[in-house]
Amino acid sequence: MNTQTRPEITAEVTDGVCRLLYHHQMSCLTELRLGNGRRLDVLALGAKGELWAVEVKSSVADFKADQKWESYVEYCDRLFFAVPMDFPKELIPESVGLIVADRFEAAILRMPEEQKLSAARRKKLLISFGQTAAGRLGNTIGDNVFMP
């Protein structure tokens, strides 16, 4: 029986996802606020400017409680769910990608179809990605002076 808490499972799946996407030559940001006010678990930026969104689900209950995931489609070229290795994969809709992950490894089980973002939306997301990454890096210098 798994005795981990939901936040612990989410953190481990997120770690595995970011490792996987790094090996796909993508840079990841976690907990990114989108233009619609929603917070995305992982946004990955590829070398050609492609943007992949990953929504992490720690359990079946977490997945079933999520009423917001469809709003992420308009903020990425590809949308994935990332779930623990023992998650019942048949619950994930066929229209989105599927990643299984733990803390150390992950695998893409299903690649979603690419749905290109509009140029204006891509520009806004790339600026947000860069500003967020720079702010977080700046905050490592000390005193959190770069971001609220």
- Give me the pLDDT at residue 138, please: 80
Q: 64, 95, 90: which is closest to 80 by C-alpha?
A: 95
The answer to whether residue 146 is domain-embedded is no
Domain of residue 82, residue span: 6-139
Asked if residue 50 belongs to a domain, the reply is yes
Tell me: the pLDDT tens digits for 23-56? 999 999 999 999 999 999 999 999 999 999 999 9
Complete DSSP assignment for 76-131: -SEEEEEEETTS-GGGS-TTSEEEEE-SS-EEEEEPPPP-PPPHHHHHHHHHHHHH
Q: Is residue 147 part of a domain?
A: no
30 found inside a domain: yes
pLDDT at residue 1 greater than cutoff 60: no
63 has pLDDT over 90: yes
Q: Above pLDDT 70, what percent of the chain?
A: 94
Q: Report if residue 38 sits inside a domain.
A: yes
More confident residue, 21 or 67: 21
Q: Is residue 103 part of a domain?
A: yes
Q: Is 3 exposed, middle or buried (0-12, 13-18, 19+ CB in 10 A)?
A: exposed
Q: How many domains does the chain have?
A: 1
CB 34 within 8 A of CB 120: no
| pTM for the predicted model, two decimal places | 0.92
Q: What's the full length of the chain, in residues?
A: 148
To the nearest 5 percent, what fractions of the chain are helix, strand and coil? 35, 25, 35
Q: What is the CATH number of the domain that holds 35?
A: 3.40.1350
User: In this predicted model, what pLDDT tens digit does every residue of 79-108 receive, in sequence order?
Assistant: 999 999 999 999 999 999 999 999 999 999
| Residue 133 is assigned to a structural domain of this protein | yes
- Domain-located, residue 125: yes
Across residues 99-120, what is the average pLDDT? 96
What are the Cα distances from residue 77, in Å, to 51, 104, 119? 5, 26, 12
